[in-house]
């Protein structure tokens, strides 16, 4: 019975470790996606600003 208990402990520890790594990977993917979205928004904002400035200069 002691061998079975030890194997069960290793299985549980392995499952917990696997779940932790999976959760960590998902968090990293989410953070990367958020960073990409933020950069895209910043580029879009700058593009709109440059276009508005060009329109203003043409109107002058």
Structure tokens at 50: 């440059």
User: Would you state the pLDDT for residue 4?
Assistant: 58
User: Would you state the pLDDT for residue 8?
Assistant: 57
Reported as a pLDDT band with limits 50, 70 and 90, residue 53 is very high
| Sign of the C-alpha dihedral computed for residues 48, 50, 51 and 55 taken in this order | positive
Reported as a pLDDT band with limits 50, 70 and 90, residue 1 is very low
DSSP state, residue 12:
H
In the chain, % helix, strand, coil (3-state, to 5) comes to 95, 0, 5
């Amino acid at each position: 019975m002691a061998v079975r208990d030890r194997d069960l402990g290793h299985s549980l520890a392995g499952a917990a470790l696997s779940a932790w790594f999976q959760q960590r990977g998902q968090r990293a993917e989410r953070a990367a996606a958020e960073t990409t979205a933020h950069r895209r928004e910043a580029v879009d904002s700058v593009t709109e600003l440059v276009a508005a400035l060009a329109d203003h200069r043409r109107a002058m």
